[in-house]
Amino acid sequence: MSAPHPPKVAGIDSAVPPPPHTVAPTPAAPGTGPSPDTAPPVKNTPAPTGPAPGTLLQDRLAGWVSDLTTLHELTERLSRTDALEPALEELLRAGSALVGARRGLVVLEPADEGGSGPRTSLGLGLGRADLGHLETVPRGSQPYGPLLDTGTGAAEIVHADLFAEDGLDPRHREVAARLGYAASYALPLTAGSAGRLGAAVWLYDEPAEPDEHHRHLIGLYVRHAAEHLALLVEVERTRARAATLAEELLPSRLPRVAGVQLGTRHRTGPRGGGDWYDALPLPDAALGLSVGSVTGSGPSAVAAMGRLRASLRAYAVMEGEDPVAVLSDLELLLRLTEPARSATALFAYCEPALRKITLAGAGHSPPLLIGERRTEFAETSVSAPLGMLACWEAPSVEIQAEAGETVLLYTDGLLHRTGDAMDRAFARLHAAAASIPRTLRRDPGAIADHVLRTVLPDGLDTADSEEDVVLLAARFD
């Protein structure tokens, strides 16, 4: 009777073949069996030569447990990534280990008609120049190209020996020789909820391809990874839309006003914040400058910022020469339309011909005066943010700028991104303004760039903060 067949596990046929040998009978005890005269001759049976059935089953089970453990560890590492680029890097590293390749490439393309998804190429062991060479190969001849075409339905693309293939695109052959790979294995990235996301390809230095067992494992892993990537792609798409909306609510260009030059730098945080800036020509050759920040982040904060900025422009046209009145009206509007939200704001009424600035602030950081003979913060009155008190009011302050001096307005996000306490952040900002080279002081945009590079040496994109950053520089002739 043959041994029972255990059920299949993970798609692998687990049937154990019957043993090829017969077990020798157990000799009878003395005095109980037939006599030697009548006993039949004992037939010599060869000793077992193969492993026992239990050993085969244990080996098979050990292999399944090892595979499941490996997949669990790899998928757990992937699930800990909370941004798209680290997730793609983890996908390439794990896939490289599963298929035995040294290098890899992942390509994401938006599947929606609007193309609002991320369009990303990222390599493992490949530099930007290498990726550029691969992009010169015609799309249909790329190692992953057919997988990106809608409707192909290809489950994988295998080039086990590129240079032995007939009909290989000459440009593909040239790029493969230049980059030093001789084989490739590509899989589509498809999620049930998002559809086609892109493709991943791994490159071999020598002719090779993964065996059936490793294809099965990488297929399981990639299916899980695609679902995780789909969520991160949606997060990136939402952030991009929020950032675009915030940018559209800010001035598309700065006005030209005689006697003053303007420059600005602005970066929206990853969640879309509520910081704004504005520069508005006013009657009598005057200029209104404003910066501010709405509490919160996301679409609701962006929408509130847009409403406040538009309202402030209207109040500035009507009574801009009185900044206190402008902010009082803005505070009343905020309490009526956004009762659960507060905001900081600073409005400056500038008369370029006189180099005179009248400003009022509501919980906002003081502007910075930058000139040849002085670098100092303007002395503004301490006041609460808008929406914090039953009635906001604070006195205005007049500043007399000298020829060639620059007034730098900014939001608190610049200070928060430093990661320092506020007093140290203010000191860092002051030191950055004081160190501006003389050759840059004639250009307000260059002044803003120098301040950013000095205050945030790691850059806006790598600073560990979700704060918006706004700088508005006005240089008086």
SS (H, E, C) 274-289: EEEEEEEEECCCEEEE
Name the CA radius of gyration of the chain, rounded. 35
What's phi and psi for 184, nearest 5 deg?
-150, 155
Query: Could you tell me if 276 and 309 are in contact, meaning their C-beta atoms sit under 8 angstroms apart?
Result: yes
Choice between 425 and 52, residue whose per-residue pLDDT is larger: 425
pLDDT of residue 225: 93
pLDDT of residue 153: 62
In this prediction, residues 92-102 reach a mean pLDDT of 93
Place of tokens 């005179």: 356
In this prediction, residues 309-321 reach a mean pLDDT of 91
Q: Is the pLDDT of residue 39 over 90?
A: no
Query: Could you tell me if 189 and 202 are in contact, meaning their C-beta atoms sit under 8 angstroms apart?
Result: no
In this prediction, residues 289-312 reach a mean pLDDT of 87
To the question of pTM greater than 0.75 for the whole model, the response is no
In this prediction, residues 135-142 reach a mean pLDDT of 89
Number of other CB atoms surrounding residue 464 within 10 Å: 7
Domain ranges, ordered by start, for the chain = 70-237, 249-476
The maximal CA–CA distance of the chain, rounded, in angstroms, is: 137
Question: Which of 132-141, 142-151, 438-447 is predicted least confidently?
Answer: 142-151
Tokens of 396: 């205005």
Contacts of 81 (CB under 8 A, 6+ apart): 87, 90, 228, 232
Categorize the per-residue pLDDT at 67 as very low, low, confident or very high, splitting at 50, 70 and 90. confident
Q: Is the pLDDT of residue 2 over 50?
A: no
Residue 170 CA to residue 137 CA, distance in Å, equals: 9
Q: Give the residues across from 291 on adjacent strands.
A: 277, 346
Question: Which of 14-23, 104-113, 221-230, 258-267 is predicted least confidently?
Answer: 14-23
Tokens of 173: 């052959």
Q: Give the residues across from 195 on adjacent strands.
A: 191
Categorize the per-residue pLDDT at 44 as very low, low, confident or very high, splitting at 50, 70 and 90. low
Percent of the chain with pLDDT over 90: 44
In this prediction, residues 436-455 reach a mean pLDDT of 91
Which DSSP helix (H) or strand (E) runs through 170? helix 170-179
Q: Which fold has domain 70-237?
A: Beta-Lactamase (3.30.450)
Helix (H, G, I), strand (E, B) or coil at 257: strand
Burial of 300 (0-12, 13-18, 19+ CB in 10 A): middle
In this prediction, residues 103-128 reach a mean pLDDT of 74
Which DSSP helix (H) or strand (E) runs through 415? helix 412-416
Choice between 177 and 114, residue whose per-residue pLDDT is larger: 177
Homologous superfamily in CATH for domain 249-476: PPM-type phosphatase domain (3.60.40.10)
pLDDT of residue 418: 86
Residue 282 CA to residue 138 CA, distance in Å, equals: 55
Residue 346 CA to residue 409 CA, distance in Å, equals: 8
Residue 293 CA to residue 412 CA, distance in Å, equals: 8
pLDDT of residue 46: 55
In this prediction, residues 378-400 reach a mean pLDDT of 81
pLDDT of residue 150: 60
Tokens of 135: 């992009």
In this prediction, residues 59-66 reach a mean pLDDT of 81
Residue 211 CA to residue 219 CA, distance in Å, equals: 12
In this prediction, residues 247-256 reach a mean pLDDT of 82
Tokens of 459: 């850059």
User: How far apart, in Å, are the Cα atoms of 180 and each of 123, 174, 177, 207?
Assistant: 15, 10, 5, 11
Tokens of 126: 């490949």
Helix (H, G, I), strand (E, B) or coil at 294: strand
Residue 442: what residue type?
A: R
Number of other CB atoms surrounding residue 208 within 10 Å: 16
Query: Could you tell me if 305 and 294 are in contact, meaning their C-beta atoms sit under 8 angstroms apart?
Result: yes
